[in-house]
């Protein structure tokens, strides 16, 4: 049976349509995917992301130990900084993609994908030296994402300016929101400005109510997994299990900014050094009629040259797009997707598909 987040009863009460995702019963939508998507692009939306995992790593040599299991270089981060990284396996594939939070020079958090919590906890604990403290606190922590151009105004209704992380990819801890102790992070998975708020599992419902109330004049609505997927797709953010996986070398997915080959040895480094990328991640607009979702074969002429890894109709763009994993020598060719026997024309376009206007 699927697990439930602390907000399950809230989702049901708010009319959420529940589906199983990452082993959890979560709402795919409340009012509708397009309405929720638009709320995040134009106002602000709340997402229950309590299914995501939080791993705590502490110790004098934590930084050095973590640097040996991550592709990114986490040396030189400041307290309150967040950095994206891949968690590589020995073959150069990805165990997961994660956010690394540095709370103190000897205290770090990994925020990991919900579907991978157990796998990651096992992987990280067995690949860290014994003198580093490791703890999987995923079940004890709830998380709510507050995303959209009005997210800052919503948080400002609740938190003093001094306690709001102003830089993208930064966070503050011990931030009181409606009396609840939180970690307040300027991060997200939607392509908009926004926050991810962490709290004790038992405080999640109260926190949700406080956030919903504080945003009622700002157009806040509850949003589900459907909108989360269309938003991240428009922003061209990879999703583990789609663009990333155990068997996909991480140097084939366009995430070079998070792979520091020049740093000291890390898991998978040798494999990556010896692997010349064969595939690239491409973004494509669907020119032909129809929707191209994941797992469609991609052709250049009669030759099968790759697959689609994600795709659907994009509400803000007004047309469908998809992400592709294609042999790199075909990246400039005319490509087609095979959708249940029908050939649909694609046009490769630069990513991200959608980029917000920054004030």
Partner 1 sequence: MAKFTKTHEWAELDETVTMGISKYAADELGDIVYISLPEVGQAVVAGEPMCEVESVKAVSEINAPVTGTVVEVNTDLEDSPELINEDAMSAWICKIEATDIPADLMTEAEYDAMDK
Chain residues in the site for partner 1 (CB under 8 A): 28-29, 32-34, 226, 230, 289-291, 293, 312-313, 315, 320, 340
Residue with the two structure tokens 């991550």 = 70
- Residue 304 Cβ vs partner 1, minimum distance, rounded to whole Å: 21
Cis-peptide into 20, omega within 30 deg:
no
Q: Which two tokens stand for residue 251?
A: 């140097």
- Residue 240 Cβ vs partner 1, minimum distance, rounded to whole Å: 19
Q: Which two tokens stand for residue 81?
A: 């900084």
- Residue 321 Cβ vs partner 1, minimum distance, rounded to whole Å: 12
- Angle (CA) 333 334 338, round 5°: 120
- Residue 262 Cβ vs partner 1, minimum distance, rounded to whole Å: 42
Residues 6+ apart with CB under 8 A from 79: 102, 103, 104, 105
Of 353, 350, 301, the C-alpha closest to 330 is 301
Name the residue nearer to partner 1 (CB basis): 109 or 336: 336
Q: Which two tokens stand for residue 228?
A: 């989360």
Q: Which two tokens stand for residue 346?
A: 């694609």
- Residue 293 Cβ vs partner 1, minimum distance, rounded to whole Å: 7
Name the residue nearer to partner 1 (CB basis): 200 or 313: 313
Name the residue nearer to partner 1 (CB basis): 238 or 315: 315
Could you tell me if 3 and 23 are in contact, meaning their C-beta atoms sit under 8 angstroms apart? Answer: yes
Count of CA atoms in the C-beta half-sphere (13 A) of 301: 4
Per the DSSP assignment, residues forming a β-bridge with 111 are 54, 99
- Angle (CA) 334 337 341, round 5°: 130
- Residue 216 Cβ vs partner 1, minimum distance, rounded to whole Å: 24
Residue with the two structure tokens 């970690």 = 183
- Residue 290 Cβ vs partner 1, minimum distance, rounded to whole Å: 6
Name the residue nearer to partner 1 (CB basis): 66 or 286: 286
Name the residue nearer to partner 1 (CB basis): 32 or 256: 32
Gyration radius (Cα) of the chain, Å: 20
Name the residue nearer to partner 1 (CB basis): 39 or 55: 39
Residues 6+ apart with CB under 8 A from 274: none
Name the residue nearer to partner 1 (CB basis): 62 or 339: 339
């Amino acid at each position: 049976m699927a697990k439930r987040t602390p907000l399950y009863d809230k989702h049901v009460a708010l009319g959420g349509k529940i589906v199983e995702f990452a082993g959890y019963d979560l709402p795919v939508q409340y009012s509708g995917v397009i309405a929720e998507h638009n709320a995040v692009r134009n106002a602000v939306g709340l997402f229950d992301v309590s299914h995501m995992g939080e791993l705590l790593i502490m110790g004098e040599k934590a930084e050095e130990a973590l640097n040996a299991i991550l592709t990114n270089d986490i040396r030189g981060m400041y307290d309150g900084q967040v950095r994206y990284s891949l968690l590589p396996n020995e073959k150069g594939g990805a165990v997961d993609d994660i956010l690394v939070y540095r709370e103190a020079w000897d205290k770090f958090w990994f925020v990991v994908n919900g579907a991978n919590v157990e796998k990651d906890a096992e992987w990280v604990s067995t690949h860290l030296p014994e003198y580093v403290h490791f703890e999987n606190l995923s079940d004890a922590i709830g998380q709510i994402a507050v995303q959209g151009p009005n997210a800052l105004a919503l948080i400002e209704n609740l938190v003093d300016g001094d306690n709001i992380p102003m830089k993208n990819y930064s966070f503050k801890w011990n931030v009181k929101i409606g009396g609840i102790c939180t970690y307040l992070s300027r991060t997200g998975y939607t392509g908009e400005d926004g926050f991810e708020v962490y709290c004790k599992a038992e405080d999640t419902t109260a926190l949700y109510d406080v956030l919903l109330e504080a945003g009622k004049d700002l157009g806040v609505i509850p949003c589900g997994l459907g909108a989360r997927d269309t938003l991240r797709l428009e922003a061209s953010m990879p999703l583990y299990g789609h663009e990333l996986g155990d068997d996909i070398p991480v140097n084939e997915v366009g995430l070079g900014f998070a792979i520091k080959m020049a740093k000291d040895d890390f898991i998978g480094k040798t494999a990556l050094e010896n692997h010349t990328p064969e595939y690239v991640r491409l973004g494509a607009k669907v020119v032909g009629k129809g929707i191209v979702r994941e797992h469609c074969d991609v052709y250049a002429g009669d030759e099968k040259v790759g697959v689609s890894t994600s795709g659907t109709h994009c509400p803000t763009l007004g047309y469908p797009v998809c992400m592709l994993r294609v042999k790199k020598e075909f990246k400039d060719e005319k490509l087609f997707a095979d959708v249940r026997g029908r050939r649909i024309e694609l046009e490769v376009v630069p990513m991200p598909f959608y980029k917000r206007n920054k004030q």
